[in-house]
Structure formats: C-alpha cells, structure tokens
Amino acid sequence: MPRLALYALAVCALAVVAAVVSFVQGYWIGVVWVLLAGLSSNMAWYYLRRAKAQRDAARAATG
C-alpha cells in the first residue's frame, strides 16, 4: 500500500474520532471534522487507484 494512502487513511480515522468526540460534547465544529474525513478518504482512494494503475501499466509494458 502506498505511503500517502496510509497517511490519508490515518488522517481519516483521526478526523472521524475527532468528529465523534466533538459531536458528543455538543460542538458543531464536528462538521468540519466530517468534511476533513471525507476529503482524506477520497485522497486515500485516489492514491490506491493510482498505484494500482501504475502497477498494471508496468505489468502491461513488460508482459
């Protein structure tokens, strides 16, 4: 798994935890954490798909 995808997944998990804690405490700033979780989730998917496409292209070039 690409390193940037792992970092994005870690940020996503931390943002989800922060959103839950924020909402439990009654703060509306949790909405920002939810948006950050969505953004980092999309970044993780992008980096995973990009790595897969690069692997497939390298495999097609050699085979």
* pLDDT tens per residue, range 7-60: 999 999 999 999 999 999 999 999 999 999 999 999 999 999 999 999 999 999
CA–CA distance, 53 with 63 (Å, rounded to integer): 15
What pLDDT was estimated at residue 63?
72
Token digits of residue 24: 């439990």
In this predicted structure, the answer to whether residue 5 has a pLDDT above a threshold of 90 is yes
Phi, psi of 28 (to 5 degrees): -80, -5
Q: What is the pTM of this model?
A: 0.87
DSSP-assigned letters across all residues of 26-54: T-TTHHHHHHHHHHHHHHHHHHHHHHHHH
Distance in angstroms (rounded) separating the CA atoms of residues 5 and 24 = 29
Give domain limits for the chain: 3-62
